[in-house]
Structure 1
Amino acid sequence: MRFVSFFFLPITGLLFAGCSVHPVPDDVSEYSTTEIVKNVRCEAKATVRERIDEALDTKGELREIDPERILEPENFMRIKRVDAHLAQKFQNYMDSAIAYDFEFTINELNSKSGSVGFLVPFLSGGSLQAGIEGDLRKSRTGDRRFKTVEKFRELVKLDCSDFVQPAGNLLYPMTGSIGMSKIMNTFIDLSELGGGKDSFTDTITFLTVASGKAGGALVLEPVSNQFRAVGAKADIDVSRSDTHKLTVSLAFPIEDLRPNSYERGSETRALENLCIARAEQRENEADTLRLYPPEIYCRRSEKESAAFSDRRLLE
């Protein structure tokens, strides 16, 4: 019986061993979710700082001003005396908002199988061969999603002292440089050309699939006249897919001078644009349209929703 336990118990443990309950990016990446988010924000901040530096460099006497402190009264008045248009541009950009919608979806499949073979000798001669087999399949899904929004004036003050711009990571892209610089520069360039001020969204999706298989077999020569295990086999098959989706929305401050107009701040509009983008994605995935378009139910103003609905009915 000692021999049976020696082989049978490891197989049983293999089949019914648990795995981590909640799959998260930390399982396969050296970065936690918090660090991934900070990397994205710091990458965005680096671009904003760079654009401010470039603008200050065009005015020789302003070069020594810290980009993070351009709105401090003394610095802002100094910039305004040199170039009032540049001061207004800085004011507008610092009041611009960026909203992030992070979604981490992880699917993991674990398949384990094992078997043990026995040889049972009879006193009258001969023997009986028997075996035990087992199979266990587990699937787990982890879905982590959250939003955050901030103005550029807050973004440029983000503590990135320990941040090192990562290179692109082909194996786990969201932990490396994901191209926030291109997104930020595109928004700023479009805004300066007069477009993209009210609605600018960009969605980046990364998919990482990993799989692996391990197996082993043990065969022993039978010993006559003894009951014992003569073979053991185990197979482990694991697959995991990580889908990382980041939707970025940027909104430029827009002043509406019309009487009794409903003015929405840049942060509110950035969040609304996120809502609209996500709703349109869901409609495309489900191939189904809602009664009212996303522009209605994503707006916070009932008056605006009613007015928009009236316009649709008239069109």
Structure 2
Amino acid sequence: MSRILLLTATAFLTGCAIRPLPENVSGVSTPVIVKQVRCETRQAVKDLALGWLTADENQENGRVDPRARAIGFEFLREQRPIQQFEPKLFQGHVRNVVETFFDTGVAYTFDLEMTEENNFNTEINLLKPFTTSNLTVGVKARADRSRKNERIFTLTDTFSGLLKLPNDYCSGASIGRSYSHLVPPNYIYPITGNIGVKNFMIDFINMTIFDKLGGPKDKPEGPPTLVDALEFQTVVSGSVAPKIVFTQVTPGLQVADASLTGEAIRTDLHKITMGLAVAGPGVRTIGQLRAFPYLSLISTHPTTHAEARAAEAVNQALTLKLFRTNVVITP
């Protein structure tokens, strides 16, 4: 009996960790998680910049001149390395746009909290038979253990610095054997997959240009700043409850049955606070960018004030879509 219970306990303990880490559950270490987020951010910067430069509607409406569009296609087709992308390649309005966001600061604060609980309950029932009845005496024991680890750290980047990273930084060779390329969203363990950085950046750009986004709460007159706080929780649990029942063979005191209940609970709570802020030369060009005459994208002649307001709302929505371009690369 004791051997069976011991083997069960040993098997149950194999998933335990003295220092809980993300790789215990996901197989992905902290450095790989960091690289995945940085590489997702880098790809978003690249996609948005080249997508805006090469979009047909931006050329048709005069937002991107033919020379700038041609340069955008050179980067898109990898005729130029993305590390050479910089504002001085462009002129006029395009240069103002690129210069405004080129040195945007990025800050990521990671708060990775992992908790493991391992609980064991043992119960042995002793049987003493009498002539008219059986007396059962139960003996119980319990051992509960919990371990918790929390990692908190902050990293900083700039859009320009991310573009200048070597291409192999985000390749399978350097990001870890689990990744050969940027991975899609992981709905089971979100911190290891795509976390939606691109949409966050689109909102930041649109709000900076069209909504006069200001600084943080304590300094609203400062450069445009936007912060997102993401929180992901994953709980994995399991239990095992083997039981042995003995047949009465002697009239004396004996073990009637014995059981061991084991329960393991792993809770991973991950938080990423990500901030974007216009910095450097971009602070000086925001005024010119906001003053640019964004032409109407709809052809209508409203006759009343209400119609004019409705047309203005539609035009604003269409204008915002200009910064939601998709990049399609054909090999």
Decide whether aligned partners of structure 1 residues 134 and 42 sit closer, same or farther in structure 2, where only a CA change above 3 A counts.
Answer: same
Q: In the alignment, which residue of structure 1 is the partner of 2:250? A: 224
CA-CA distance at 1:213 after TM superposition: 2.1
CA-CA distance at 1:254 after TM superposition: 5.2
Q: In 2, Cα distance between the equivalents of 1:84 and 1:12? A: 71
Decide whether aligned partners of structure 1 residues 38 and 7 sit closer, same or farther in structure 2, where only a CA change above 3 A counts.
Answer: closer
CA-CA distance at 1:41 after TM superposition: 1.4
Decide whether aligned partners of structure 1 residues 13 and 172 sit closer, same or farther in structure 2, where only a CA change above 3 A counts.
Answer: closer
CA-CA distance at 1:186 after TM superposition: 1.2
Aligned residue identity for 2:106: I
CA-CA distance at 1:161 after TM superposition: 2.4
Decide whether aligned partners of structure 1 residues 6 and 23 sit closer, same or farther in structure 2, where only a CA change above 3 A counts.
Answer: closer
CA contact (8 A) 1:7 1:229 kept: no
CA contact (8 A) 1:111 1:138 kept: yes
Q: In 2, Cα distance between the equivalents of 1:13 and 1:227? A: 29
Decide whether aligned partners of structure 1 residues 10 and 60 sit closer, same or farther in structure 2, where only a CA change above 3 A counts.
Answer: closer
Decide whether aligned partners of structure 1 residues 114 and 14 sit closer, same or farther in structure 2, where only a CA change above 3 A counts.
Answer: farther
SS at match of 2:236: strand
Q: In the alignment, which residue of structure 2 is the partner of 1:69? A: 84
Q: In the alignment, which residue of structure 1 is the partner of 2:53? A: 56
SS at match of 2:205: helix
Please tell me whether residue 147 in structure 1 is matched to residue 154 in structure 2: yes
Structure 1, unaligned runs of 5 or more = 258-315
Q: In 2, Cα distance between the equivalents of 1:132 and 1:96? A: 66
CA-CA distance at 1:183 after TM superposition: 0.8
TM-score normalised by length of structure 1: 0.65
CA-CA distance at 1:116 after TM superposition: 3.5
Q: In 2, Cα distance between the equivalents of 1:68 and 1:15? A: 50
Please tell me whether residue 114 in structure 1 is matched to residue 106 in structure 2: no
Q: In the alignment, which residue of structure 1 is the partner of 2:204? A: 187
Deviations 1:50-100 (A, max 9, x none): 1221243253431213433113xxxx65x23xx243234323322111000
Equivalent residues in 2 for 1:1-315, closer than 5 Å: 6=3, 19-57=16-54, 58=64, 59-62=68-71, 63-65=73-75, 66-71=81-86, 77=88, 79-80=89-90, 83-117=91-125, 132-158=139-165, 159-162=169-172, 164-193=181-210, 194-196=212-214, 197-224=223-250, 229-253=255-279
CA contact (8 A) 1:118 1:229 kept: yes
CA contact (8 A) 1:213 1:237 kept: yes
CA contact (8 A) 2:170 2:182 kept: no
CA-CA distance at 1:195 after TM superposition: 2.2
Decide whether aligned partners of structure 1 residues 220 and 185 sit closer, same or farther in structure 2, where only a CA change above 3 A counts.
Answer: same
Q: In 2, Cα distance between the equivalents of 1:204 and 1:6? A: 47
Aligned residue identity for 1:67: I
CA-CA distance at 1:156 after TM superposition: 1.7
Q: In 2, Cα distance between the equivalents of 1:242 and 1:28? A: 9
Deviations 1:103-137 (A, max 9, x none): 1122332211113445689xxxx999766432111
Deviant stretches of 4+, over 4 Å: 7-18, 117-121, 126-132, 225-230, 254-257
Structure 2, unaligned runs of 5 or more = 55-63, 76-80, 173-179, 215-222, 285-331
CA-CA distance at 1:246 after TM superposition: 0.8
Aligned residue identity for 2:17: S
Q: How many residue pairs end up in the alignment?
A: 244
Q: In 2, Cα distance between the equivalents of 1:12 and 1:56? A: 62
Q: In the alignment, which residue of structure 2 is the partner of 1:272? A: none
CA contact (8 A) 1:199 1:251 kept: yes
Q: In 2, Cα distance between the equivalents of 1:8 and 1:167? A: 43
Deviations 1:247-292 (A, max 9, x none): 11111015689xxxxxxxxxxxxxxxxxxxxxxxxxxxxxxxxxxx
SS at match of 1:64: helix
CA-CA distance at 1:13 after TM superposition: 6.3
26-35 vs 95-104, greater mean Cα deviation: 26-35
CA contact (8 A) 2:16 2:116 kept: no
Calculate the aligned-residue CA RMSD, in Å.
Answer: 3.4
TM-score normalised by length of structure 2: 0.63
